[in-house]
Amino acid sequence: MSTYPWKLSVFLSLIVLFLLYSAVLYCREYKEVLPADVLAQDGKMIWQQKNCVSCHQLYGLGGHLGPDLTNVYGKKGEPYIKAFLQSGTTVMPNYHLTENEMQALISFLKYTSSTGISDPNSFTKHNDGTISQ
């Protein structure tokens, strides 16, 4: 190292920058998202078992035959979701779900709706590589 003192100063500068950047990130305020309750966790299992994601997206990820459902609870409400789950449509299958299964799925969609908005295109991108809604 002594033959290349500039390398040592670059190395130390990078360490200082890394520590500063870490400190800034850790000191930031963040919105805490509460963990999903038991019913919502059951709903997530049903969501996976019935493979809803093959046609629907959550947070912009998933199939594109049906609409993104991340915020469907917040935008359209429980009775609207229930109507789709009870009857299906010409494209969406009727899964003949029990009342409990429907409540669990609705609870899961209520949870996803409470976590934020889903369209990544509407996020604000910051220069430090983070995003905000």
Query: In a 10 Å sphere around its CB, with 0-12 CB exposed, 13-18 middle and 19+ buried, how is residue 18 labelled?
Result: exposed
Among the candidate windows 9-17, 27-35, 78-86, 124-132, which touches ligand HEC by CB under 6 A? Answer: 78-86
> Which CB, 5 or 79, lies closer to ligand HEC?
79
Give the β-pairing of 124-125 and 131-132: antiparallel
Q: Helix-strand-coil percent breakdown of the chain, rounded to 5?
A: 55, 5, 40
How many residues bind ligand HEC, per CB under 6 A? 20
Tell me, residue by residue from 38 to 57, as one string, x for binding to ligand HEC by CB under 6 A and - for no binding: ------------x-x-xxx-
Q: Taking a C-beta distance cutoff of 8 angstroms, is the pair 110, 93 a contact? A: no
Q: Which residues bind ligand HEC (CB under 6 A)?
A: 50, 52, 54-56, 65-67, 69, 72, 76, 81, 84-85, 89, 91-93, 95, 105
